[in-house]
Amino acid sequence: MYKRISVIVSVLLLGCCTVTIPLTAQAQVLVAQARNPELKEILEEGRRLVNTGDYNGAIAVYQKAASLDPKNAKIHSGIGYLYAQQGNFQSALASYRRAIGIDPNNSDFYYAVGYIKGNLGDTAGAKEAYRRAIQLNRNNVNAYLGLGVTQARLGDYEAAVWAYEQAISLNKNNAQTYEFMGSMYKQRRQAKQASSVLQKARNLYQKQNDLDGVARVDAMLRELGG
Convert the pLDDT of each residue in 166-213 to its tens digit.
999 999 999 999 999 999 999 999 999 999 999 999 999 999 999 999
Q: What gap in Å lies between CA 166 and CA 164, rounded to an integer?
A: 5
Q: Write down the pLDDT at residue 21.
A: 41
In percent, how much of the chain has pLDDT > 70?
84
Under 8 Å between Cβ of 164 and 177: yes
Q: What gap in Å lies between CA 127 and CA 117, rounded to an integer?
A: 9
Q: Write down the pLDDT at residue 37.
A: 77
Q: What gap in Å lies between CA 47 and CA 25, rounded to an integer?
A: 9
What does the pLDDT average to over 27-46? 68
- Mean pLDDT of all residues in the chain? 85
Q: Return the axis-axis angle of helices 211-224 and 175-187, rounded to nearest 10°.
A: 20
Q: Give the phi and the psi of residue 145 in degrees, each rounded to 5.
A: -65, -45
What does the pLDDT average to over 150-168? 96
Q: Which of the two residues, 35 and 166, has the higher pLDDT score?
A: 166
Q: Which of the two residues, 165 and 7, has the higher pLDDT score?
A: 165
Which of 40-49, 154-163, 194-203 is predicted with the least confidence, judged by mean pLDDT?
Answer: 40-49
Nearest to 120 by CA among 92, 148, 145, 157: 92
Q: Write down the pLDDT at residue 102.
A: 95
Nearest to 216 by CA among 180, 184, 185, 192: 180
Q: What gap in Å lies between CA 212 and CA 47, rounded to an integer?
A: 30
Q: 15 pLDDT exceeds 90? A: no
In percent, how much of the chain has pLDDT > 90?
67
